[in-house]
Structure 1
């Protein structure tokens, strides 16, 4: 959604967002794919409440949710596993990383407040069968090491399941 320009009324932000989403979602629907919209802290649609408001205003069949587990931890009282359960039917993409509650900083697993096993169990219970991407945007300088650590954490949290 991008950040709202200072002084722009919310009604205008909604108008711009919906005007931009409509042709994108129409084209996606014709192509047989879904658009994954990601609520991003600090943006006009910055949390799951904003996502739900968007979904209510724009119930396009091609519009889905990109759920970022860490972003849910940024929300007051945010529970990533509960978010998966609540939003499961709309999930088209999932991103995961650790974060400290209330702080938008992508961290390696084990350095924040994410209950990774509960999050993965919730995903499995919804029947989600898409990709789960690890997003460590500040760790590109140690990508190989971060990959190994992340895979080990995911395997450990999922009981070493076949999909990791």
Structure 2
């Protein structure tokens, strides 16, 4: 597996500077959150193409693998966080999110990324669970068609507070979507926050579908991304499970509220996580 870092934790850095800083601390992968000033999909096409070329050159020069993340807070709406979403009651607003995801797929392909990570969004109108699931599946279909054309896997993330928040919800969505490019992003902090059972058990259950991992510390029942050591997670057990499922992709630190001290956060995370890459024992 490869330790990585999400650029949403370096929001005040130029993207190429953020990548250089991440690589300098020993990380081998980058989760690039598309955002204002960071491969903004709505940038003038020529300017965006030049930015993509510069970022890809920087990544290749550093030998970093990459995934594309789509969780920018205010990219689509300067007034409301993460708005609109695939769960919006208005189909025109759902189409705005779907178009953004298709643009993200194109950028990911140009970057030679491993996958595009995405999530559902919140339900904000009166609807049944069945209707909401149908709504989400319908909204995902054009995105999946675009992913198919690009040959780009999608990695869907269960997110606390959103419609798809647990693995049980993912299971139901997966049955409805049933697409070979539909996979998983797993945030182990989210698992600790709201799922029943151990993180290791969930990793074993979903191992064949996981394309992308997020990691940070967290306290059970509280969805707040914390620096390592500030929460209640058992990281040796998590990495033991990752070694045992032979996970070989990126494990990306997600500390989006640490941008004010990004250089220190990147260094601290690297120093905490790097020793855990060496397996010590086998399961059982």
TM-score normalised by structure 2 residue count:
0.53
8 A contact 2:204–2:241 mirrored in 1: yes
In structure 2, the residue matched to 1:99 is 218
Match of 1:119 among 238, 246, 268: 238
Residue 129 of structure 2 is aligned to residue 10 of structure 1 = yes
Match of 2:180 among 46, 61, 76: 61
8 A contact 1:39–1:51 mirrored in 2: yes
Following TM superposition, by how much is the alpha carbon of 1:76 offset from its aligned partner in structure 2, in angstroms? 4.5
Paired residue secondary structure (1:129): coil
Alignment of 1:133-144 (within 5 A): 133-144=252-263
Residue 205 of structure 2 is aligned to residue 86 of structure 1 = yes
Greater RCO, CA 8 A, separation 6+ = 2
Partners in 2 of 1:133 and 1:125 — Cα distance? Answer: 19
Stretches of structure 1 lacking an aligned partner (at least 5 in a row):
none
8 A contact 2:154–2:183 mirrored in 1: yes
In structure 1, the residue matched to 2:42 is none
Paired residue secondary structure (2:252): strand
8 A contact 2:166–2:195 mirrored in 1: no
In structure 2, the residue matched to 1:42 is 161
Paired residue secondary structure (1:64): strand
Paired residue secondary structure (1:139): helix
8 A contact 1:68–1:94 mirrored in 2: yes
8 A contact 1:26–1:62 mirrored in 2: no
8 A contact 1:29–1:61 mirrored in 2: no
In structure 2, the residue matched to 1:151 is 270
- Give me the CA root mean square deviation: 1.6
TM-score normalised by structure 1 residue count:
0.90
In structure 1, the residue matched to 2:151 is 32
8 A contact 1:98–1:106 mirrored in 2: yes
Following TM superposition, by how much is the alpha carbon of 1:78 offset from its aligned partner in structure 2, in angstroms? 4.5
For the pair shown, which has the larger CA radius of gyration, 1 or 2?
A: 2
- Give the structure with the higher percent strand: 2
Stretches of structure 2 lacking an aligned partner (at least 5 in a row):
1-119, 280-284
Moved over 6 A (4+): none
8 A contact 1:117–1:158 mirrored in 2: no
In structure 2, the residue matched to 1:74 is 193
Q: How many equivalent residue pairs?
A: 160
8 A contact 1:76–1:102 mirrored in 2: no
What do residues 46-92 of structure 1 show as CA deviations (whole Å, max 9, x unaligned)?
11111111112222110000000111111143422222111101101
